[in-house]
Amino acid sequence: MTPASKESPTPERPTVGRRTVLGAAAAVASAPALLGPARTAHAAPPHRTPGALPGGGDLGPNVLVFDPATPGIQAKLDEVFKQQEKAQFDTGRYALLFKPGTYHGLNAQLGFYTSIAGLGLSPDDTTINGDVTVDAGWFNGNATQNFWRSAENLALVPVSGTNRWAVAQAAPFRRMHVRGGLNLAPAGDGWASGGYLADSRIDGTVEPRSQQQWYARDSAVGGWSNGVWNMVFSGVQGAPGQTFPNPPYTVLDTTPFSREKPFLHLDGADYRVFLPELRTDARGVTWGNGTPRGTSLPLSQFYVAKPGVSAGTLNQALAQGLHLLLTPGVYHLDQPIEVTAPNTVVLGLGYATLIPDNGVTAVRTADVDGIRLAGFLIDAGPVNSATLLEIGPAGATADHSGNPTTVQDVFLRIGGAGPGKATTSIVVNSRHTIIDHTWVWRADHGDGVGWDTNRADYGIRVNGDDVLATGLFVEHFNKYDVQWYGQRGRTVFLQNEKAYDAPDQAAVQDGDVRGYAAYKVADSVTSHEAWGLGSYCYYNVDPSIVQHHGFAAPNVPGVRFHDLLVVSLGGKGQFERVINDTGAPTSGSSTVPSTVVAYP
């Protein structure tokens, strides 16, 4: 399929469980960066008392560290890829780390739960003359299940001039410099459903080709070739102009607030964690002409956790004043991880995964400044959890505008790897929280999947005021996917699918409204704004189900939406309206979006 084609895939394409029709329809279809010297944080390591946990230590067997002189790098990359290529719900977790220097002739193919990253302060400190590749050969050219993998902090010189990054959800491309182009589709322009790019410079052209939706934040691109349904840009130098819905480009000149994800780096032979600082009205990358602004913490201030450690030990480390570095693997929790001190960092490597075994919340934070949660997966356990992640306690009111909590590349899953249940996945109570790229997924395939088997009524509930979401991917919840109760909330980009497996109309009846909205702003809210939101329905159990609208909000002047779309995938269910009672209905099996450019 070519990017401009409006044809469905050929009949020879295999039938698949996820986004079959969505994928088919996809074929239709400057301010300077804020730079300055790094500052080393001067906080002394916590005082050691008898029985205290140590900071620092080795990173464990699933963190593979290379330097340019390491023999057999390609063979090791191939070994990890062979294990992880099809391992969608297995327990393998890997971080591939490259010391600063130049590497030649590598092709790092990334499978599931694999992260690749450079260990410099700038992507250009670590250059691979070669590729970091995500393709979909494992799935017959269909990239809609290429989840849970990442690339960060590297410079690439692609062999062909263009690097292939054909991903779906939970696959960030952060802090990367591609000295060439970037292709976001699998070989042959098969189906693709992603994705997220931030703090990156692409010297050539980004080619979405068959990608249905994409969000790019605070980056620089040499060009952007096309769009299918929902391409959203904020703070991107070189982005196309605002043209939604044709082409479907939603463009914000800047990002209201952003603070890049913490990352591991080397200072000589010592590991440190760099904490980029907050930017207001951000545009372009944070690196390029010098060392990025922020602070750097020594690894001695982190408890380096290994799989098998108890939640009690993690909480002991936090109570001592240590940060947490979660090395790759699966962690079972019998109590919540309690993050209570301001400016605490919880950073995962290689998709470290937290499983609450007995219905507890996996992670809770206090209503304090500057907490950073990044780079891990929360997998619901078989006993229902009322919540999986809580940002601040109920009723939180403190002002965090100068130093917010950030939640970045924190992904949540209910079912798929086995039975899991959670009433609400994420609750945000603290004001000014920044949610920067999350995929909150009630599984539609895998093990432990069924309307009540992996019951999960709500994806994200925002109670706090002044919360900003940049890059929401929230899918398949039994009721509302996103609920917003706080004032002055803002969202830039939403990708949503309603639950495929609703048994009948009654199962999704919201009072006298047919179907629960994907994104609902509470009637009490008087100020809210959102850009670039898309919701799709594919009611394959009962295709007669009608979804009244994708989005619901009070009709007041301070609540504003820009560039909305709803899609019925192949006629499996239909939308009557886009937002409230506004917008044309979808119809038939043509999988053509219905759009609203501005509301009200």
Q: With 0-12 CB in 10 A as exposed, 13-18 as middle and 19+ as buried, what is 91?
A: exposed
- Mean pLDDT, rounded, of the chain: 92
12 is catalytic: no
Q: Would you state the pLDDT for residue 25? A: 39
Does the pLDDT value for residue 481 go beyond 60? yes
Confidence of residue 47 (pLDDT cuts 50, 70, 90): low
pLDDT class for 24, splitting at 50, 70, 90? very low
CA pair distance 70, 104, nearest whole angstrom: 12
Nearest to 188 by CA among 205, 164, 170: 164
Q: What is the pLDDT of residue 48?
A: 58
Neighbouring C-beta atoms of residue 558, cutoff 10 Å: 12
Question: What confidence tens digit (pLDDT) does each residue in 127-178 have?
Answer: 999 999 999 999 999 999 999 999 999 999 999 999 999 999 999 999 999 9
Structure tokens at 456: 């999960």
Q: How far apart are CA 277 and CA 82, in angstroms?
A: 38
Map 292-353 to HEC letters: ECEEEEEHHHEEEECCCCCHHHHHHHHHCCCEEEECCCEEEECCCEEECCCCCEEEEEEEEE
Task: Give the whole-angstrom CA distance, residue 357 versus residue 337.
Answer: 13
* 74's tokens: 């390609």
- For 552-579, how does the pLDDT look when each residue is reduced to its tens digit (9 = 90+)? 999 999 999 999 999 999 999 999 999 9
Task: Please tell me the chain's helix, strand, coil percentages from 3-state DSSP, rounded to the nearest 5.
Answer: 5, 40, 50
Identify the residue with better confidence: 12 or 415. 415
Scored b (16 or more CB within 10 A) or e, 368-407 reads bbbbbbbbbbbbbbbeebebbbbbbeeebeeebeebbbbb
Q: What is the pLDDT of residues 273-304, one digit of tens each?
A: 999 999 999 999 999 877 789 999 999 999 99
Residues 6+ apart with CB under 8 A from 329: 60, 62, 91, 93, 306, 307, 308, 350, 352, 353
Cα–Cα distance, 560 to 231 (Å, whole number): 19
Of all residues in the chain, the percent with pLDDT exceeding 90 is 90
Alpha helices by DSSP H, 213-304: none
Q: What is the length of the chain?
A: 600
CB 343 within 8 A of CB 302: no
119, pLDDT greater than 80: yes
Q: Which pLDDT belongs to residue 291?
A: 76
DSSP code at position 218: S
5 falls in which pLDDT band (50, 70, 90)? very low
pLDDT attached to residue 290: 72
CA angle (507, 512, 513) in 5-degree steps: 70
Residue 249 in this model has a pLDDT that exceeds 50:
yes
Cross-strand pairs, 347: 325, 374
Tell me the two tokens of residue 417.
């790897």
User: What's the sign of the alpha-carbon dihedral 7, 10, 15, 18?
Assistant: negative
Identity at 528, one-letter amino acid code: H
Q: Which of 12, 497, 529, 576 is catalytic?
A: 497
Angle at 581 between CA 575 and CA 585, to 5 degrees: 30
Amino acid (1-letter code) at residue 231 = M
Neighbours of 106 (CB within 10 A): 17
pLDDT tens digit sequence for 508-548: 999 999 999 999 999 999 999 999 999 999 999 999 999 99
CA-to-CA distance for 331 and 543, rounded, in angstroms? 39
